[in-house]
Amino acid sequence: MVTVFAGGPPAVDPLPWWDRRCGVVEPGDDVVGIRRAEDLAAAGVLSATVRHLDHWDNQYRGPTYGYREPDAGLVEAIVADLELLLDEVDLDRWLVPLGILHPDHRAAATASCAVAARHPDVEWLVYEDLPYATLYRRDRQLALDGLPSRGFGLQAVPVDLTGEASSVREAAVRCYRSQLRGLGPEVGTALATPERIHRLTRR
């Protein structure tokens, strides 16, 4: 389980609007450390291993928090990290985001497509970001429409997350306490929505 945007300042003060909305952390808290710990808890539920990349979350990428890197090179930096990770873990199947609405999701999706284009020997699967795919249909369509220009199409892959799998999925989501209040009823929307997975096909 790879979290691309697992970096940020060691202490967050002042809190950006999202952290204030979530109402869990306090000014000066190590919010990045808290979110990394949530990743580890969710991975434990899923029997997964975790890799944290050090790219800063969008809400911290600014001078207020000491961020100095230009966003212009962000996707290329993610591509470089994913290339190294691909060589290190040597897996023949990857699941990556479609990249709906959120700038970090879009950057991760763009970088994933760039890596996929260089590695045709790997099976690349794409998940539709929830709850965005359900709540923001126009942005979902924009993400889908952008794939042909990157040289890809999509082929639906059946997914069955009923019974025990559904319970495990919900338990993993509930590990992200620092995010749940901010998402509010959208958490229920995501959990009630069937996962939509696609296989990247080359055009």
Tell me, what's the pLDDT at 19? 96
pTM passes above 0.85:
yes
Kindly state the average pLDDT of the residues 67-81: 89
**Could you tell me if 25 and 33 are in contact, meaning their C-beta atoms sit under 8 angstroms apart?**
no
What angle in degrees, to the nearest 10, is found between the helix axes of 103-118 and 74-89? 50
**Could you tell me if 109 and 116 are in contact, meaning their C-beta atoms sit under 8 angstroms apart?**
no
Q: What SS3 state is found at 25?
A: coil
**DSSP annotation of 196:** -
Residue among 158, 149, 161 at smallest CA distance from 192: 161
Tell me the percentage of the chain whose pLDDT exceeds 90: 89
Tell me, what's the pLDDT at 139? 97
Residue among 77, 72, 123, 127 at smallest CA distance from 99: 127
Q: For tokens 């969710």, what's the residue?
A: 42
Angle at 13 between CA 8 and CA 17, to 5 degrees: 85
Tens-place pLDDT, residues 114-151? 999 999 999 999 999 999 999 999 999 999 999 999 99
How many Å apart are CA 182 and CA 27, to the nearest integer?
16
Cβ-based burial of 184 (10 A; exposed 0-12, middle 13-18, buried ≥19)? exposed
Token pair listed for 139: 């942005």
Tell me, what's the pLDDT at 101? 95
Domain 2-202 carries which CATH code?
3.40.50.10320
Residue 15 clears pLDDT 90, i.e. is over it = yes
Residue among 38, 40, 15 at smallest CA distance from 26: 15
Least confident of 97-106, 117-126, 127-136, 159-168: 159-168
Q: What SS3 state is found at 200?
A: strand
